[in-house]
Amino acid sequence: MLDIKFVRENPDLVKENIKKKFQDNKLELVDEVIELDKKHREFQLEGDNLRMERNSLSKEIGNLMREGKKDEAENIKAKVNEINSKLDNVEKETDEYSNKIKEIMMRIPNMIHESVPIGKDDTENVEIQKFGEPIVPDYEIPYHTDIMEKLSGIDLDSARRVAGNGFYYLVGDIARLHSAVISYARDFMINKGFTYCVPPFMIRSDVVTGVMSFEEMDAMMYKIEGEDLYLIGTSEHSMIGKFKGQILPKSELPYTMTSYSPCFRKEKGAHGIEERGVYRIHQFEKQEMIVVCEPEDSYKWYDKMWSYTVELFRSLDIPVRTLECCSGDLADLKAKSCDVEAWSPRQKKYFEVGSCSNLTDAQARRLGIRIKGEKGNYFAHTLNNTVVAPPRMLIAFLENNYNEDGSINIPEILRPYMGGIDKIVPKK
């Protein structure tokens, strides 16, 4: 959420930013909110004047009572009561305008960073850099669920009977591999100096609207019927929510945390749920990282964070690349974002396995996350990034470690988490 003062003083910049995000339907919101802000400030000023007049008259009443001028004091009390009645109406109007302004401000997108490429959607994202040599073996690599089934590692039919499409049972060595990747990612981030955390898997609506736009909320979140609770779509939601309404000591920043959680998503929209694969599903697990920091440090952390994901994938010999998300592919609260994509030797192309985002002070404004400074309090910057998200990671892992005989190599760094085995072999 932007600062209303910034919008008031820079309407053309805000409108240009909306155009860059190809959301021309929101242009009228800028003029609307500026007009509402004008009326809001008029009522605020009227309220301030009424309170000053009331305070002055109240002092006068005290003086008159001390002088024994009771009748004159009573007349002034009547004026005070009249002012109180006016003030009640003015404060109601002020609150109504304040609520309308907040509702509109939460729909106006955050200002994107000057380096963000302009484009309508993810087809116009820009490749930044490749890491590792993409290899296509001279033998066929099966579809990822076929690999898992040959290893007796997945049961989609039972999951469909129990929960429907978008769910799965992982079994045996594949389930163990899934847990091994999560555990390795946890320790990887702890070794980077991040504090490990397991957060709540449900959050209240005021946290939901604090961490994402209404459009994202509708497309992603599952609501618990009859309660003010939502299942998290990623642990970033509850991790950033942890700091809601807090004034953070400058000396304790930055907060760098890595969190494990299951994630639940509707996955509404053009992509939909896969019936056969496990790339886009309703439930999965993830290791996440978040940073809450000083505004001037946020882009340094942004570069560090995505580089950690690249380093983790490369430590498992998986080639990856980074893509700069264009303006039209950025969610409303994001100022800058990049995707990490892993190489698929079966498809002979890269696919998304993680995303790193700097939201500057957008979430902090919505949630009231401030830093206690020497010259007053100011809003923090928040960032998030995927460390690893099985089962997407499993797709990349299985394809890049698949042998012609159907076995799967286990890289040396992961073997301690797999009981020391160096290979998963199909059961006869």
Indicate if 226 and 174 belong to the same structural domain. yes
Indicate if 167 and 51 belong to the same structural domain. no
Give the 3-state DSSP-derived string for 101-142, with helices as H, strands as E and coil as C.
HHHHHCCCCCCCCCCCCCCCCHHHCEEEEEECCCCCCCCCCC
Indicate if 377 and 283 belong to the same structural domain. yes
pLDDT band at 217 (very low <50, low <70, confident <90, very high): confident
pLDDT band at 66 (very low <50, low <70, confident <90, very high): confident
* Residue 70: predicted pLDDT: 79
**End-to-end CA separation in angstroms for the chain:** 58
Report d(CA 26, CA 106) in Å as an integer: 11
Q: Is residue 398 part of a domain?
A: yes
Q: Is residue 205 part of a domain?
A: yes
Residue 162 · residue 225 · CB < 8 Å: no
> Is the pLDDT confidence value at 213 over 90?
no
* Residue 337: predicted pLDDT: 98
User: For residue 402, what is the domain's CATH number?
Assistant: 3.30.930.10
Report d(CA 342, CA 142) in Å as an integer: 17
pLDDT tens figures, 101-118: 999 999 999 999 999 999
Helix (H, G, I), strand (E, B) or coil at 156: helix
Rounded alpha-carbon distances, angstroms, from residue 404 to 98, 137, 147, 370: 65, 9, 11, 55
Residue 312 has φ and ψ, to the nearest 5°, of -65, -45
Q: Is residue 90 part of a domain?
A: yes
> Is the pLDDT confidence value at 276 over 80?
no
- Residue range of the domain that includes 60: 4-105
pLDDT tens figures, 322-347: 999 999 999 999 999 999 999 999 99
Which residues share a beta bridge with 376? 373
Indicate if 67 and 134 belong to the same structural domain. no
Phi-psi region of 143 (alpha: psi -120 to 50; beta: other; left: phi over 0): beta
Residue that terminates a domain, selected from 78, 105, 132: 105
Indicate if 213 and 351 belong to the same structural domain. yes
Indicate if 213 and 78 belong to the same structural domain. no
Indicate if 195 and 54 belong to the same structural domain. no
Q: Is residue 395 part of a domain?
A: yes
- What is the chain's length? 428
Residue that terminates a domain, selected from 70, 105, 140: 105
**Helix residue ranges, H only, 21-126:** 27-66, 70-105
* Token pair recorded at residue 242: 């942890």
Q: Is residue 115 part of a domain?
A: no
Closest CA to 181 of 319, 26, 354, 313: 313
Indicate if 101 and 144 belong to the same structural domain. no
Closest CA to 49 of 101, 95, 91: 91
pLDDT tens figures, 131-188: 999 999 999 999 999 999 999 999 999 999 999 988 999 999 999 999 999 999 999 9
* Residue 185: predicted pLDDT: 98
> Is the pLDDT confidence value at 350 over 70?
yes
Give the 3-state DSSP-derived string for 399-425, with helices as H, strands as E and coil as C.
HHCECCCCCEECCHHHHHHHCCCCEEC
* Residue 275: predicted pLDDT: 64
pTM of the model: 0.91
* Residue 268: predicted pLDDT: 61
Helix (H, G, I), strand (E, B) or coil at 14: helix
Contacts of 396 (CB under 8 A, 6+ apart): 313, 318, 342, 343, 344, 351, 353
Indicate if 87 and 192 belong to the same structural domain. no
Indicate if 273 and 168 belong to the same structural domain. yes
> Is the pLDDT confidence value at 383 over 60?
yes
> Is the pLDDT confidence value at 269 over 80?
no
The distance of Cα 69 from the centroid of its chain, to the nearest Å, equals 64
The C-alpha angle 209, 213, 219, rounded to 5 degrees, equals 100
Domain count along the chain: 2
Q: Is residue 111 part of a domain?
A: no
Q: Is residue 13 part of a domain?
A: yes
User: For residue 14, what is the domain's CATH number?
Assistant: 1.10.287.40
Indicate if 99 and 236 belong to the same structural domain. no
Rounded alpha-carbon distances, angstroms, from residue 26 to 15, 18, 35, 173: 8, 7, 15, 50
Q: Which string of b and e fits 200-213 if b means at least 16 CB within 10 Å? A: bebbbeebbebbbb
> Is the pLDDT confidence value at 270 over 80?
no
Q: Is residue 116 part of a domain?
A: no
Mean pLDDT for all residues in the chain: 94
> Is the pLDDT confidence value at 355 over 80?
yes
What is the chain's Cα-based Rg?
27
Indicate if 245 and 368 belong to the same structural domain. yes
* Token pair recorded at residue 304: 């560090």
Residue that terminates a domain, selected from 50, 79, 105: 105
Report d(CA 409, CA 345) in Å as an integer: 15
